[in-house]
């Protein structure tokens, strides 16, 4: 979605690019980074093109975590409480 002055515009929508059950994805340099999948099955880190929804890469067995982006640096807060 893209917020406009008086409306919301849908950019792309599907559940196969990124199904973010665990947390809200972050956007950096035109790419969306998020945990894809459900917690019960284990999450995978995924990078998706913001404009098209095309999956660029996936890191299997990444685990569930909250992604953080601050001052151009990224980190993750795991479900075990570790900050990486």
pLDDT digits (tens, 9 = 90+) for 24-77: 899 999 999 999 987 777 789 999 999 899 999 999 988 888 888 888 888 888
Q: In the chain, what are the domain boundaries?
A: 2-78
Report the 10 Å Cβ neighbour count for 32: 20
Domain 2-78 has CATH 2.40.10: yes
pTM, full prediction = 0.79
| Nearest Cα residue to 47 out of 64, 30, 61 | 30
Separation in Å, CA 33 to CA 4, 5, 10: 22, 26, 18
3-state secondary structure of 41: helix
Look at residue 30 in the predicted model and tell me its pLDDT.
93
- Phi first, then psi, for residue 77 (nearest 5°) are -110, 110
Q: For residue 73, give both structure tokens.
A: 């640096």
């Amino acid at each position: 979605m893209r917020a406009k002055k008086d409306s919301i515009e849908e950019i792309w929508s599907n559940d196969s690019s990124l199904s973010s059950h665990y947390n809200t994805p972050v956007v950096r340099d035109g790419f969306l980074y998020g945990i894809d999948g459900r917690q019960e099955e284990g999450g995978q880190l995924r990078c998706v093109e913001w404009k098209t929804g095309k999956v660029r890469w996936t890191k299997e067995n990444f685990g569930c975590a909250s992604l953080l982006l601050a001052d151009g640096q990224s980190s993750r807060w795991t479900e075990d409480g570790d900050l990486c």
